[in-house]
A and B are shown apart, each in its own frame.
Chain A
């Protein structure tokens, strides 16, 4: 079992839709959970992170961690065509190493 599991999609939604992206993790020792966004032919960039559990909101984006079910979610409100990218969930134990999920490809249609 991979440490971070993620549905690769692709996920296609109309502009303005609410998008829900999800991951599951297996190691309860995780400290930070992160979402990276990767545009085509670019390196990933950090979008949001949460510590251990709870919610964090930043504009149209909300990151959520449910420790009881080992579930990580990213919600995008009022999705835009510019949100079309691959979204990678990741875990960081507070050390140097980051483990990434496979990524979910999102297409937002205008």
Chain B
């Protein structure tokens, strides 16, 4: 399967714990995105990487959130000191970039539940 993969698919944690999610994009894609999606809402942009450089971060991304993309390949999203409001689906997407429409290919998401 050459699509975007995310691990784990589900994560249940207690409030105050740290969690880390991984995203493996489509191999030739240089752009990588993280979104958060809550029930009944569309994906909300969190952050964007062009290769290994993090070029944009949403105001939704508090200082408890950090994302990395070492060597421009896979990416990790870490949430420190989780809160119940962090419960959501975290989606990763990748795209080829370049001119024209920026078609993003999404992974299946990681569903986080904070108890």
Contacting residues, chain B, for A42 (C-beta < 8 A): 108-109
| Chain A neighbourhood of B4, CB < 8 A | 43
Cβ of B102 within 8 Å of any chain A Cβ, yes or no, is yes
Where the two chains meet, the residues of B that have a C-beta atom closer than 8 Å to any C-beta of A are 4, 31, 33, 40-45, 48, 50, 55-56, 91, 93, 97, 100-109
Question: When A and B form their complex, what is the total count of cross-chain residue pairs whose Cβ atoms lie within 8 Å?
Answer: 60
Q: Is the CB of A32 within 8 A of B42?
A: no
Are A43 and B106 within 8 A (Cβ)?
yes
Contact of A44 among B41, B44, B97, B106 (CB under 8 A): B106
Interface digits, A28-64 against B, CB 8 Å rule (1 contact, 0 not)?
0000101000000111111001010000000000000
Q: Tell me if A72 counts as interface (CB < 8 A to partner B).
A: no
Partner of A43, one of B50, B101, B102, B108: B108
**Is there contact, CB below 8 Å, between A96 and B56?**
yes
Q: Bound state CA distance, A100 and B44, in angstroms?
A: 7
Task: Known pairs A34-B101, A92-B102, A96-B97; list 11 more (Cβ under 8 Å).
Answer: A42-B109, A43-B91, A43-B107, A49-B101, A94-B100, A96-B31, A96-B50, A96-B55, A96-B102, A97-B48, A103-B40
Task: Determine whether the beta carbon of A98 is less than 8 Å from that of B102.
Answer: yes
Residue of B nearest to A89 (CB): B42
CB distance B103 to A46 under 8 Å? yes
Which A residues are in CB contact (< 8 Å) with B102? Answer: 32, 92, 94-96, 98
